Amino acid sequence: MAHPTEMLAETVDQALRQRARRVVPGGMTGHLNAAALPVGYPQFFQRGDGCRLWDVDGREVIDFMCAWGPNLLGYRHPEVEAAAQAQAALGDCLNGPTPRFVELAETLVDTIAHADWVLFQKNGTDATTVALMVARAATGRRKVLAAQGSYHGAAPWCTPVPAGTTPEDRAHLIRFRYNDVASLEAAAAEAGPDLAAVLLAPIRHDLGIDQELPSPAFAQAARALCDRAGAALVLDEVRTGLRLNMPGSWEPLGIRPDLSAWSKAIANGHALAAVTGTDALRDAAGRIFTTGSFWAGGVAMAAGLATLAVARRDGLVVHLERIGSLFRQGLAEQAVALGIGIRQSGPVQMPLVLFDDDPAWEKGMVFCAEALRHGAYLHPKHNMFLSLAHTEADIAQALRATEAGLQAVRQRFGAG
């Protein structure tokens, strides 16, 4: 049977999908594959500007995925792009790093509360992997505790899809339940004296379920456990970094990690990742061997410097909290008015909309498909993201699209 999108009149997007299937296994890889999204969602895009995207068929939408997180300030932010272009005119990938390498490392150390040093990479998976290497080098141990369902990257030790991996790849990974102190302690007991690290997302943002903020008791227990065991507490800030609190997502809880992994937003869409750590782990970080021909590229680092400067100057977190609250409140009011049960969870900077009695996300798919037709790009089960470029006018326009989406849900499934 033909894929539903193939039954539509051919578009530029469909033609590109067909070409891609011939030369790319499956046509697209990983989380960027639009096959799991509602019919009508584009796979290929022409350009982005601010908080808006244009697909290859010219359709304009207000974007609530922000390139799955990297768009922090707005697509093609003029100050970030000017910094990147100025560095590109001098050079990007050279025999060694440019001065931007040192400048950005200094800036990150000044910005991130726990950081005494920085190691650079390119992707979030690079950063989480390097962080665990540092923890193991520092402790001489093997076991790592990670929450059930948490996503920490696509390397064999953590990918959610086991094809191409072996049981040995994750033989030293022990799972526990997020926000469950007893479960965490049981996992630590299983690891025993071989515990190297506890790896945590600052919030629970597993695919398809309600987001969950950490309880202060859980965060404190994780910190105390690592201190007691001589293990490293590692925060995976790849999704949350800068959006929730620029010095670190757990700073408001009074808890600092030993290591943290950063990527996505730190260079506003330019490929860059980083591991930051404390002085106690500096020697271990210097003993491991990790490298990449493109990891010290000057263009992304220049973009990172500009991104951090704009985020500080323009009050990024305050803006995201205000805009996110407007979006959440508007959606809640619409749902009540239409008699539809929805759940919005987690920080307002990272919106998530799930429907009651919708285990297979069918309501979510209808909602998002209709909202897209009215000009808002949402996701039916993944947390979304807001950027500095989203304005009150954009939120008002997007809420008109969500109202149409909620009405479509009511027409299809009824109230409730």
Q: What is the tens place of the pLDDT at every residue in 3-48?
A: 444 444 689 999 999 999 999 999 999 999 999 999 999 999 999 9
What are the start-end ranges of the H helices in 71-196?
78-90, 99-111, 124-139, 181-191
CATH of 4-73+315-413, one of 3.90.1150.10, 2.102.10.10, 3.40.50.1370, 3.50.30.60: 3.90.1150.10
What fold is seen in the domain 78-313?
A: Aspartate Aminotransferase; domain 2 (3.40.640)
**Taking the model in full, what pTM does it have?**
0.95
Domains 4-73+315-413 and 78-313 share a fold: no
Positions in the chain whose pLDDT score sits under 70: 1-9
Can you tell me the distance from the alpha carbon of 172 to that of 312, in angstroms, rounded to the nearest whole number? 39
Pairing label, strands 173-176, 45-49: unpaired
Domain residue limits, the chain: 4-73+315-413, 78-313
pLDDT at 416: 83
SS3 assignment, position 165 = coil
Of 220, 119, 116, 129, nearest to 169 (Cα)?
129
pLDDT at 149: 96
pLDDT at 20: 97
Tokens, residue 276: 């930051």
Of 285, 295, 251, 297, nearest to 131 (Cα)?
285
DSSP 385: -
- Which stretches of 237-356 are assigned E, i.e. beta strand? 259-262, 273-277, 342-344, 353-355
